[in-house]
């Protein structure tokens, strides 16, 4: 049962994403039918820099709904079940997660929190418990199989697995949902593991679609102030109350 590291890979993004958003934004302010300009867009007859500039300008006005037409799909491994439970609370997304019911966890990988890893006695106790869990899982599964419950052994034995158990998941979000996800999960107040995952996803988004994600990140980085109450603020940015105080 080895410790597992985070890995985030981009599987897919909407083809012709810039052209699609340009067309969607243009339709909102254009009397004609954007399908008529679509061939020119995908054939490169309209300058991409001008498209990106137009999209960025409209976004600055607060008009963001058209960016929902473009989505990203990520494959993620090396996160804990504790982390995945936080991620799936973001409802405007699609998820396909590795099942503990169908995948045998006899050689379960796990996630080791950094705060535990740096304290020798804490790490030793944590790793010893992971071994105990692994042994209990194997014993229970074997007992269930021997009792004639082989096809259901995994789904019952999994009840002893910890939140530290490593999981793999495929995530699809549109750009608007991703920006909201980054607002919350790139924040210093977010739990360390989901923040690490969000930071990796944000790097990928910035590399692949800078016109949309150039300024994406924690809410404070976009607003210029911390939207949290003072008792929750990390201090990187002043709170709104501090900014407006007379």
| Residues paired with 77 in a beta bridge | 7
Q: Classify burial at 119, counting beta carbons within 10 Å of its beta carbon; exposed 0-12, middle 13-18, buried 19 or more.
A: exposed
Q: Are 103 and 152 in contact (CB under 8 A)?
A: no
Q: Which residue among 81, 141, 185, 195 is the active-site one?
A: 185
Q: Are 216 and 182 in contact (CB under 8 A)?
A: yes
Catalytic residue at 214? no
**Is the Cα torsion angle 139, 154, 166, 191 positive or negative in sign?**
negative
Q: Are 181 and 90 in contact (CB under 8 A)?
A: yes
The token pair that represents 216 in the structure block:
């994406």
Q: Are 242 and 203 in contact (CB under 8 A)?
A: no
The token pair that represents 83 in the structure block:
């982390």
Nearest residue to 160 via CA among 188, 138, 189, 190: 138
The strand pair at 71-80 and 7-13 is best described as antiparallel
| Helix 175-185 × helix 192-208 angle, to 10° | 140
Give the H or E element holding residue 80. strand 71-80
d(CA 13, CA 9): 12
Positions marked active-site? 185
């Amino acid at each position: 049962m080895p410790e597992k590291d985070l890995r985030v890979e981009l599987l897919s993004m909407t083809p012709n994403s810039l052209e699609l958003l340009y067309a969607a934004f243009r339709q909102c302010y254009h009397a004609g039918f954007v399908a008529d300009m679509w061939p020119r867009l995908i054939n490169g007859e309209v300058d991409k820099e001008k498209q990106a500039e137009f999209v960025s300008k409209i976004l600055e006005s607060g008009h963001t709904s058209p960016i929902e037409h473009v989505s990203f799909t990520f494959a993620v491994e090396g996160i804990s079940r504790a982390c995945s439970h936080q991620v799936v609370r973001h409802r405007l997304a699609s998820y396909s997660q590795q099942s503990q019911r169908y995948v045998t966890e006899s050689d379960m990988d796990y996630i080791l929190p950094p705060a535990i890893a740096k304290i020798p006695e804490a790490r030793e106790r944590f790793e010893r418990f992971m071994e105990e869990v692994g042994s209990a899982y194997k014993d229970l599964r074997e007992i269930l199989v021997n009792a004639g419950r082989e096809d259901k052994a995994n789904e019952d034995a999994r009840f002893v697995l910890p939140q530290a158990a490593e999981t793999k998941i495929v995530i699809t979000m549109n750009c608007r949902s991703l920006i909201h996800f980054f607002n919350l999960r790139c924040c210093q107040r977010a739990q360390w593991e989901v923040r690490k995952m969000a930071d990796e996803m944000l790097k990928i988004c910035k590399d692949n679609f800078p016109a949309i994600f150039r300024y994406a990140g924690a809410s404070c980085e976009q607003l210029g102030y911390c939207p949290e109450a003072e008792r929750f603020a990390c201090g990187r940015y002043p709170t709104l109350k501090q900014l407006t105080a007379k």
